[in-house]
Structure 1
């Protein structure tokens, strides 16, 4: 019922997109769209692909949609591809793309948000500043900003708390996540999502960090035994548009197009909550399993001591290192973060 509701919501909102046809349809070239990874089936097949198919129909403009892995795009290259105009719209994994500007990782620093509600407050506080900097530095317009969900650990080994990660090789995908797992005594291993299954199977990595739904859909429970559902971050994603293409639209058309993407944004936030809870139940064989494959992983209970350990490391090793890196190219970085994300989550960089 939840996914039917999401589809209905998207469909209803997009009926008005035809009003934009007078602007975008005049462009002879199609909108070249790079979506998320195909392994994230629910996000891609139930929300993202239908959204762009409807956009093509209602707006009368060709849309060439491909998932990121289908055309061999490296997620870390997304911002440069948008700036150069290689694509018009891209689904961007913010943490991976932040190698080009550490400021963007400020929306999803490891250990900052304790839950999804806290993360949404952080995103809402940071959104305008992020859009401003994307336009200035990467010729890109921010259209959506949403999380895959809590990034948790799928592991092998005798693990009963975060301290048992000591000595383990842990797949991560952002700089701050690397610092956090290093603080726990583990060795970070940077891998793209498509590489993780074999890495876990062959022992190249002992643990992998991803959202419960992504891990289940990627069949990680086939090659791991323990689920540690402690949120390290939230894998915040964004749909970004090349600014030159955006500026071809009138202000009225821009506002209407942005409204359509806001609907997708809301649907992705809803999915992050409902979908991942189902994935945890399915992966651990607990409760009703609706949307995912059933497995029998052992779930490690997360107590206040585990969370406090993460908070300590966030203050000690994550925030200071990020602030130093970010401030090299953006001297107001720390001040902006404290006034936005920091204020929303109760953290402060000294």
Structure 2
């Protein structure tokens, strides 16, 4: 009996030790996430993403490890939102206006000349953020942070004095607003995402586009085009967002680490964007490009286009758009 009692006690002790070890292992287990993004690893958005991931790992004591996949290496840009929504990736980064056709409010920051400075871009973000968050939540996702690109200008392979000079150009489009601009100026819209732009320029698939100085530097645009008109048309924003099911599986400490790192990334990202605007324009000049403001005639033409696009967007965005613009104008 004594031997049987000892054996039972030993088995029970081993079970408890094993159980405690399992609990300890689970408590210290590392959660791994994938975060696909569309821009090169050298882009300031991608660098900020990596710093964000580093902060998350540090603040969570290694319990949450996020792998950044820049340059559309994991999913192509049009696939990123769907990948996060369906749980194929736990988080993602995307230009907000890429999903404007599905959810019009996401195109608010590409309404030409609505917000043309960083201060105004922040006001527009604050005015539209509650609606954007609500739309994402309805699709099972949570907004983590948002960072703007520098203000958009016009790239071309020839001098542009008026809108008429843009007729017939092969104009790169990446969202509904840029496609519509091409149509209104008589150019040919060609859908090209950032990861494919350098090749499209090299092959002559496109010879003009509207984008930030950063995109021009990333794609070494000076090898194909010679003119950049600093129109300050709008400051489009990238959003970083997470799948709610994945978010819900995090323990409280890891979730706090994620949110704290996101808040820091947003603050840091806006500062990086401001510095990037000047640095990227300097790189364009160094590459041999002519960088200048648009002529009064070209600026006036774009202002008229901006009024047309604003009216069309408000009609499409409905009550959400009207509420966000009204809130912005009160700030």
User: TM over 0.5: same fold?
Assistant: yes
TM-score by length of 2: 0.81
Give the RMSD, CA atoms, in angstroms. 2.7
Alignment of 1:230-249 (within 5 A): 230-249=231-250
Tell me how many residue pairs correspond in the alignment: 305
Q: Deviations over 1:74-93 (max 9, x none)?
A: 11222211111111111112
Residue 133 of structure 1: how far off its partner (Å)? 0.8
- The equivalent residue for 2:95 is 93
SS state at 2:93 partner: strand
CA distance in 1, matches of 2:103, 2:193: 19
CA distance in 1, matches of 2:27, 2:40: 28
CA contact (8 A) 2:145 2:241 kept: yes
Cα 1:76/1:122, change in 2 over 3 Å: same
CA contact (8 A) 2:38 2:195 kept: no
CA distance in 1, matches of 2:326, 2:172: 27
- The equivalent residue for 1:302 is 294
CA distance in 2, matches of 1:274, 1:313: 29
- The equivalent residue for 1:118 is 120
SS state at 1:30 partner: strand
CA contact (8 A) 2:147 2:237 kept: yes
Cα 1:55/1:343, change in 2 over 3 Å: closer
Cα 1:132/1:253, change in 2 over 3 Å: farther
- The equivalent residue for 2:196 is 195
Cα 1:174/1:164, change in 2 over 3 Å: same
Cα 1:235/1:54, change in 2 over 3 Å: same
TM-score by length of 1: 0.77
Structure 1's unaligned 5+ residue stretches are 1-21, 285-293, 327-332
Cα 1:25/1:63, change in 2 over 3 Å: farther
Cα 1:58/1:30, change in 2 over 3 Å: same
Alignment of 1:1-350 (within 5 A): 29-38=31-40, 40-45=42-47, 47-59=48-60, 60-69=62-71, 71-136=73-138, 138-249=139-250, 254=255, 257-284=258-285, 294-302=286-294, 305-316=297-308, 318-324=309-315, 326=316, 333-344=317-328
CA contact (8 A) 1:112 1:345 kept: no
Structure 2's unaligned 5+ residue stretches are 1-23
Residue 231 of structure 1: how far off its partner (Å)? 2.9
CA contact (8 A) 1:177 1:232 kept: no
- The equivalent residue for 2:12 is none
Q: Deviations over 1:195-224 (max 9, x none)?
A: 222322332212133210221122111111
CA contact (8 A) 2:155 2:209 kept: yes
CA distance in 1, matches of 2:321, 2:305: 18
Which protein has the larger Cα radius of gyration, Structure 1 or Structure 2? 2
Cα 1:69/1:235, change in 2 over 3 Å: same
Cα 1:229/1:119, change in 2 over 3 Å: same
Q: Deviations over 1:183-206 (max 9, x none)?
A: 222222110112222322332212
